[in-house]
Amino acid sequence: MEEKVKKVLANDIKPYLKSHGGDVKLLSVSDDGTVKLKLTGACGGCPMAQMTLKGFVEKALKAKIPEVKKVIT
């Protein structure tokens, strides 16, 4: 599943975040479907970071990879 997550991050999520001055780093993918990420760049200190994480990043990962159950920082 980690490779699937890396692919979705690279192709779908990172380009969007980079267009806003941010990025995301994959920290881990657990067997229970939890993906741990770190928002960096402009996203790292943005007051909207949790909304971005849940409303965009988590939603996109779950849509492409049904095994993903939640995304945390």
Phi, psi (degrees; rounded to nearest 5) at 56:
-115, -60
pTM to 2 decimal places: 0.91
What residue ranges in the chain does DSSP mark as E strands? 22-29, 34-41, 70-72
Residue ranges per structural domain of the chain: 2-72
pLDDT tens digits along 17-72: 999 899 999 999 999 999 999 999 998 888 888 899 999 999 999 999 999 999 99
CB within 8 Å of 7: residues ≥ 6 apart: none
Which CATH topology does 2-72 take?
Answer: GMP Synthetase; Chain A, domain 3 (3.30.300)
- Report the alpha-carbon distance of residue 47 to residue 43 in Å, rounded: 8
- Residue 58's nearest CA partner among 18, 22, 24 is 24
The predicted structure's pLDDT at residue 45: 83
